[in-house]
Amino acid sequence: MKHTVHDLGHQQKGATAVVTLDSQANVQLMTQSEYRNYKSGRRYRYTGGLAKRSPVRLTIPSSGRWIIVTDLGGYLGRYRVGVGVEPAPRGALPKIREDNPARRVEVRDDVVEPPSDDIMAGQTWDVFLSHASEDKLSVAIPLRDALAVRGVRVWLDVAELRIGSSLRRRIDQGIRSSRFGLVVLSPSFFDKGWPNHELDGIVTRTNAGEQSILPIWHEVGADEVRAYSPSLADKVALSTATHEIEAIAEEIAAVVIGDKAA
């Protein structure tokens, strides 16, 4: 169907997409994965509907990458559209706290290539954060920072993940030197071409008790994860579609710090 698309990029929960039209049209706010369903003619979820007045204001329901799609529902016609975004209200500032040693936790992000040995030069970390480079600014770095202030020691691979043995080597080394492997599953991560049996290999080691994997779903749903790895789809996961980064960090920190104290 002929349509117009505006990529809003990463937006915070509570921001407002403002759409101006010179005639009536369908206005829909959706995630990147739902937009792929829309283009393919599959069922999809959206916020919005037929707009007969302008401007149209749609509130961003959760932090993440969002897209505005406008169309005439298949009918012939013309319209002009403009799209802008108003930032979310700042709200109250965080409560004043006494100095917390957790805020001084060392976070390594200066290593471009992991050490060549299997235990990363003998160092250990609470969490190894695996991600695709496309998700670095929107998910990986904010999550790393949020975990750090909660006292979680994070190893963040700042090198781009590549397909095949290079990706497998980074993940294997990171998992071996960390108690938890935090994997951001996203369309970009899947597009790196990492095959199912390699994903399942890490899950197998997790089931053997050698390490623990904490999946995060970013712009993907259960069907997409299951298509790549049924075993990963069955694992309890947090999603950026339903949780803000701070909330995800809070839940992960509770697991990691609790495991330390056990």
Give catalytic residues, as residue numbers: 198
Going by DSSP bridges, is the β-strand pair 154-156/125-130 parallel, antiparallel, or unpaired? Answer: parallel
The arrangement of strands across the sheet holding 81-86 comes to 56-59, 16-21, 81-86
Name the 3-class secondary structure at 215: strand
First vs last C-alpha separation in the chain: 56
Residue type, position 20, single letter:
T
19, 27 contact by CB (below 8 A): yes
Phi, psi of 137 (to 5 degrees): -75, -35
DSSP letter string, 4-62? EEEEEEEE-TT-EEEEEESS-EEEEEEEHHHHHHHHHT-----EEEEE-SS-EEEE--S
The pair of structure tokens assigned to 96 is 């004043």
